[in-house]
Amino acid sequence: MAWRERRDRVADGHVPQPPAHVGGHVRTTPVALPPGVVALSDHEARARTGLDPNTWAYLDSVAGDGLTRRANRAGWNALQLWPRVLAPLAGLSTEVTLAGSRLAHPLLVAPLAHQRLLHGDGEVASAIAASAQQAGFVLSTLSNVPLETVAAAVRNDQDRGPLWFQLYLQADRARSLDLIRRAEAAGYEALVLTVDAPVNGVRDAERRAGFRLPSGVVAANLASTAAGDGTLAGLLARAPTWADVEWVAAQTRLPLWIKGVLHPADARRAQALGVAGLVVSNHGGRTLDGTPATAQALPQIAKATGGTLPLIVDGGIRRGTDVLKALALGASAVLIGRPVGWGLASAGALGVSHVLRVLRDELEAAMALSGVTSLRDMPDDLLDPNALARQTACE
């Protein structure tokens, strides 16, 4: 079946059975979601019970004691919306402007690696779902489907969201440059350079499970790349620096975003280099444990950059109310990571589409109940100042 037809059926709430795949954990996609699957947590429960322990350990794992993941959720929960009543709601719109482009809503799919662990269609399923819901899509360097194949599946959809490529710098610049050129040629519209993971975090759940990628699940974009020196010393020796950011910016015509910024000083330095925007992120708690929640870091970075640099935030966003709070703190859009993985494992492209639709529906409800009709003109007093002051005091 043509990708376009599959996309339209996903948008309508139906999806055909997936084709056979070589390698990976091929899972049967239901033609409709079961009754009672109404929230992101329902997809999480289905993923937890449906995935093998090895794969669940990978998807759910966090660094250390999970302090950062809990802080991310607590950060959004601590903020309280301060609704206004009797506001005229006609014409309510979730449209936002991101780096000069108009988006139907502020939701983008985060770069999630190794998606064929979760479903046989892998990243193509997520990309189709994102396109069906007019969400942006960021493909990981560590995708199990070649970047060209993913782009071809959605590139010509007229009403899709942004199509971006996330870049992990490789051991030598020639290989990094090859990825950049391939992304440009395939039609990706921006690069997202991840800078907060020079080494893997200490993930106890993965170590206890003895996590290994199963046979047939490979990083398709790096299939011919040698492993290189995997020792700590070797990894540290080739960890990215500010000089690498400047080098990447000089190599491409694409807008360059920096993902993994938490400190205001780093935000100012990136802004001085002329990047297109920043992703305020702590990698979902998968790298360094004990960092600030992204809800805490976001307003500091917005202040440090003077409100002139586009900001995207991720980490712990599970409800439409979280999305509204993020935009009230200064974000232009949000990335959705683990919940996309849950939806993919739960029901393939249909599950991812449902996750995005739920968040958008919840966002619309939160806007209406808060008296907000436009995300482009957010009221300054949308958040309860007492709750905001308490959170600020913890920074």
**281 annotated as a binding-site residue:** yes
Q: Any known ligand binding at 243? A: no
Determine whether the annotation assigns residue 316 to a binding site: yes
Q: How far from chain centre, in Å, is Cα 140?
A: 10
99 φ, ψ (degrees, to nearest 5): 50, 40
According to the annotation, is 306 in a ligand binding site?
no
The reply, when asked if residue 332 is annotated as ligand binding, is no
Residue 266 in tokens: 């780093």
Find out whether 391 is annotated in a ligand binding site: no
Name every residue whose Cβ is closer than 8 Å to that of residue 255 and which is 6 or more positions away in sequence. Answer: 99, 189, 190, 191, 276, 277
**Residue 296 is labelled as binding a ligand:** no
Q: Is 357 marked as binding a ligand?
A: no
Identify the CA nearest to 177 among candidates 256, 248, 243: 248
What pairing do the DSSP bridges indicate for beta strands 101-103 and 96-98? antiparallel
The position carrying tokens 């302090």 is 67
318 is in an annotated binding site: yes
Alpha-carbon span 125 to 257, nearest angstrom:
24
Report whether 140 belongs to an annotated binding site.
yes
112 marked ligand binding residue: yes
Whether residue 171 is annotated as binding a ligand: the answer is no
- Whether 283 sits among the annotated catalytic residues: the reply is yes
Q: Does the annotation list 315 as a binding residue?
A: yes
Residue 338 marked as a ligand binder: yes
111 assigned ligand-binding residue: yes
Single out the catalytic residue among 25, 43, 105, 283.
Answer: 283
* Residue 203 marked as a ligand binder: yes
Q: Which residues carry out catalysis?
A: 283
Binding residue positions for FMN:
111-113, 140, 166, 194, 259, 281, 314-318, 337-338
Binding residue positions for glyoxylate:
58, 168, 203, 283, 286
Binding residue positions:
58, 111-113, 140, 166, 168, 194, 203, 259, 281, 283, 286, 314-318, 337-338
